[in-house]
A and B are shown apart, each in its own frame.
Chain A
Amino acid sequence: MENPIRNIAYDALVIGAGIAGGETALNLANTGYKVLLVDRELSVGGKMIMLSKVFPTLDCAACITTPKVSEISRHPNITIFTGSEVSKIRKVSDNEFVALVTKQPRYVHIEDCTACQLCEKACPVNVRDQYQFGLIGRKAAFIPFSICSPKAAAIDIDNCTLCGACEKVCPTNCIDFTMEVETMELHVKTIVVATGFNLFNAEKMPRYGFGKYKNVITAQQMERELAPTRPFNTILRPGDGKVPDKIAYVLCVGSRDASIGNPVCSQICCMYSIKQAQLLMGSLPMADVTIYYINIRSFGKGFEEFYQQAKGMGVNFVKGKIGRISEKENGNLILRYEDINEGKLQEAEHDMVILSTGVLPNTGIDKLFENQKLQLDQFSFIGQSDMLASPAKTSIEGVFVAGTATGPMDIPDSILSAGSASSEAISYLIQHP
């Protein structure tokens, strides 16, 4: 089958459909510009759509994200490519970039899928669900998660046995294994990079035992355990299904640590850990929650009050640096730490440990530009050429940046940054019609 290459023109290309990319696309679309929103995941919404609640208000994250995602998905000026990646960008004139986009086959015609989940029920395969961070299984024919957008099934072709059971039960015949990779050449006038961040891989710090000790999990995994669409019926240890009652948080895992190459403060891990600690105390009222920290950085509006509220609820804060975690036979964990206030080495036993992993740059975006140089900052986040006056400007005229692609920040700051990027892009489009 021939690989189709289409020539399509848009006013703006937004790379990354998280909260910053989505907000940027909406602002541009509402001003009347045609926007192409590209994301490599199967759903728009980025990392925010997977959260349980947001800090410091404890508002439901899905209740904030879902209407926004729905607005993005239904906007007549926004075209969304999920499961797609930009592979090359070339600037051909002041108001024209040519971008090569590769769209992976979903093997489902989104417009025909009713999300009835009959294919999911019929599929015999079970693999680890990446949207629940491996805590539970999913089928090879699957709806990524309950509030995903587009709400449509997808086929995990790497794990599919091609039995055809999904096709047989599909009432709309929307499953199509003849789909192939599509490569599209797009002509756009401006580009906004909103590629977000990566979280530190805790396996790179073996002394914490992540991956080896099953009751050491990441805060992202705990976020799923706390969400309404959680993997288990309640909060459980993934090691043996015990309801935990002595839980520890270890802050600054893979951040503020030059020895592992990331000296940057993640800005969000103190507050998301405090948020989770409060939610845990709501879910498990009898549990003891301890947060091991170096410094609590409660710098934003309402953050210090949120921290004090956690203390008032009974969350135990220990100023201590964890040296090593070891496991007992019953799955409990021994934390050996330096008590910074006392200047002593101490040990404490917990039955579950949550690692609050740091924020890392999403690298590789600068390699996409063929005839221009996208400058990065010293930490490999996208460089802001005029940080104070025009924070969305990059080293390439006509290319702007939004959200955590520029560095760690929380959700309100990401949305603010998206506002700045869309304003700059609109201004550029007016000046370069």
Chain B
Amino acid sequence: MGTASKAVADSRANLPFVYRQYSAEQLKHVLYKMYLIRRFEEGAEDSYTRGLIHGTMHLSIGQEASAMGICMPLGEDDQITSTHRGHGHCIAKGAEVKRMFAEFFGKTTGYCKGRGGSMHIADVAKGNLGANGIVGGGIPIAVGAALSSKMMKTGKVVVSFFGDGANNEGAFHEALNMAAVWKLPVIFVCENNGYGMSTSTARSTAVKNIADRAAAYSMPGVIVNGNIFSEVAEASYKAVERARAGEGPTLIESKTYRHRGHSKSDRNRYRTKEEIEDWMSNRDPITLFENELREFGFIDDKGIEAIRVAVAQEIADGIEFAKASPSPHVSETGNYVYTEQA
């Protein structure tokens, strides 16, 4: 992505990172994408309640700034591994919502041809190597992808998204250690939304901040407010620079909150209504970003309204596309287990 011109940069010298680094068009596109993630998940939730989607899903509503901020400095060739709460990562990395809806509806036009669903959503062409149903499952895989990048000298950076729950998995520790020992171009992004299903980090994790774990693996550990787009993007930008320079991995802890329950079967017994309400009304990442954009003169109310209308249209079109798409035939159940012999 191009950067703002020198003159513009000077006039923004005192503004937060992203307003110095990116153009108004780029930032408006970020707002568009944050709305797209929010509305996509709301649309998926609505389709779920209408019985159009089966299984379950894990919504990241409230975490949009984290997904967008981390992916902001990534190029299309860079790769990510994602989590069961991965819709935002997928859109942030460039996926089309219509093919995501199609996947959720189990259709052949979906990214995984209806075989993966929400929990395994992927867009390999755009560098998303897939959401993972196993907590921590994607972390060593990201390290392996970074090893490929180093061995093949492709210059790709790999981001591994995971939640606070994964920081207590063995895979997390083994993978961080190897990435540091081998100085691989990988960024570990812990989206700490406070709860591993129902168990709070205070009850599950011995360190106060998950970023503190970085010290054990000799890599920088950075804590950002995950609901402030600029903070997240700035930390990601630095980590990407470090990775590309061959200096090795970074652990970013993005502190955020999920507005919804863990999955569709969550009764929210482990946190208070007041707590949820506080995050929704006072710390919503889209509202915070929108307010900054308006305050710094990057957009006006009309511009925001136009974005909302356009997003609503893209979501409606996506759902229609998914509905109209064909389902796989049961005779194809055995496809893709092994590579088809030519």
A and B: interacting chains: no
Residue positions of B touching A, CB distance < 8 A: none
Residue positions of A touching B, CB distance < 8 A: none
